[in-house]
Amino acid sequence: MELLPGRIPDFLTDQDVGLLRAEDRVFEAMLDRWRAQMLARGLTTAFIRSSCRTVERFRDHANEYPWRWSAHHVDDFLSDQRGGAGPLSLSTLRSYAGAIRAFCAYLTDSRYGWAALCERVFAAVPTQVVFEWNSPRHTTDDAVPPRRRAFTKTELQAFFDAADDVVDTEFAKGSKRWLPAMRDSVAFKVAYAYGLRRRELAMLEDVDFGPNPHVPAFGAFGSLQVRWAKGTKGSGPRRRTVLTVPEFEWVVDLLRFWLSPEGRGRFATADRSQSLWPSERSASAAVRNFDRSFQSVRKLAGLPEELSLHALRHSYVTHLIEAGYDPLFVQQQVGHSYSSTTALYTSVSSDFKHRTIQRMIAARIGSPENEGRNRA
């Protein structure tokens, strides 16, 4: 009877068992039980399949079994992948290294029994072969491209003005395009006001908003439940709650308007679902619709191409930090697991940096120690 998901199968536990093609059968059993362990952890089947394929490819490349793997096998495997005819990105290499690391961690965990079995049958034991020094850097070290940045407040105002101008222009022409233009204009402002990713924005529903008992003035829009937030690899989406902050209290009136008959209710498809962003033909607008609209508005506003829809999220982080919010609060608002990731999203203005330095100088000048020196 299996006591732990992923433990070695019963047919391998008999001390006297004789295995035909022992190396192949043990490796197959390792992969099979690793799948069971990952399923028990709640990882997605697509992630599990991808991880197992990576381990099998690594085994074939090394031409050795896990109990004879070493760090140089990882070096050779990743360097060949990086330097092949179609060189892979760092994020793909990270996923390969992560899968091999996770498999080795599973094999070397004494609770599963593989190390003892391999020592008995093959006179060798599996070890961890993926380390910080022989694998691509963690995502937070280089996840944000050098040109990725936040909007300045002047650029942000120009962008939102351009989005509103599109609505006015299309309405004045009598074009039906004014309604989706108004939807997109509202959506971009909501994305900024809550620091949302593209998919998180597209998946919002009208029931995701709720009150914050500590700020009754915001009514039914004191908080937002993001139910399709980005999860860790293989875990599926996570939930997080984003509070409406005073710096963006204007979004409350905007949402009240949007959820009225004069806003979202104008779409004929609005009654088909609870999606916050219906379209003219379907119950919900797709991410690609927002991407196309964003690029069009950005061009109309004369803004550089380095500013993407995701830059609204960068702007949210930056402007909250500049407003004096605690970095941990900002980290929790945007759903980052590590403060280092939030730091990458922050591109504070030079004015903010100068004000910070001036406050530090003023605080030091006004300290008791300095006052004593000045009197002396």
Cβ–Cβ under 8 Å, residues 166 and 181? yes
Per-residue pLDDT of the chain in tens (376 residues, 90 and over written 9): 456 788 888 777 655 445 668 899 999 999 999 999 999 988 889 999 999 999 999 999 999 999 999 999 999 999 888 876 666 778 888 899 999 999 999 999 999 999 999 998 899 999 999 998 888 865 544 455 556 788 999 999 999 999 999 999 999 999 999 999 999 999 999 999 999 999 899 999 999 999 999 999 999 999 999 987 776 555 566 788 999 999 999 999 999 999 999 999 999 888 888 999 998 888 788 889 999 999 999 999 999 999 999 999 999 998 998 888 888 898 889 887 666 666 666 665 555 545 554 655 566 666 555 555 444 4
Angstrom CA distances, 38 to 31, 103, 126, 235, stand at: 11, 10, 19, 10
Between the CA of residue 230 and those of 199, 227, 283, what are the distances in Å?
9, 9, 23
pLDDT value at position 374? 47
Element (H, E) at 347: none
CB environment 86-117: b (16+ within 10 A), e (fewer): eebeeeebbbbbbbbbbbbebbeeeebbbbeb
For the chain, the structural domain boundaries read 10-137, 157-307
For residue 10, give every residue at least 6 positions away whose Cβ sits within 8 Å of its Cβ, in sequence order, or none. Answer: 2
Q: Has domain 157-307 been given CATH number 3.40.50.2300?
A: no
Percent of the chain as helix, strand, coil, to the nearest 5: 60, 5, 35
Whole-number Å distance between alpha carbons of 195 and 206: 17
Q: For residue 305, give every residue at least 6 positions away whose Cβ sits within 8 Å of its Cβ, in sequence order, or none.
A: 298
Please, what is the Cα angle at 366 between 362 and 372, to 5 degrees? Answer: 145
In this prediction, residue 283 carries a pLDDT of: 78
Token pair belonging to 136: 């691509």
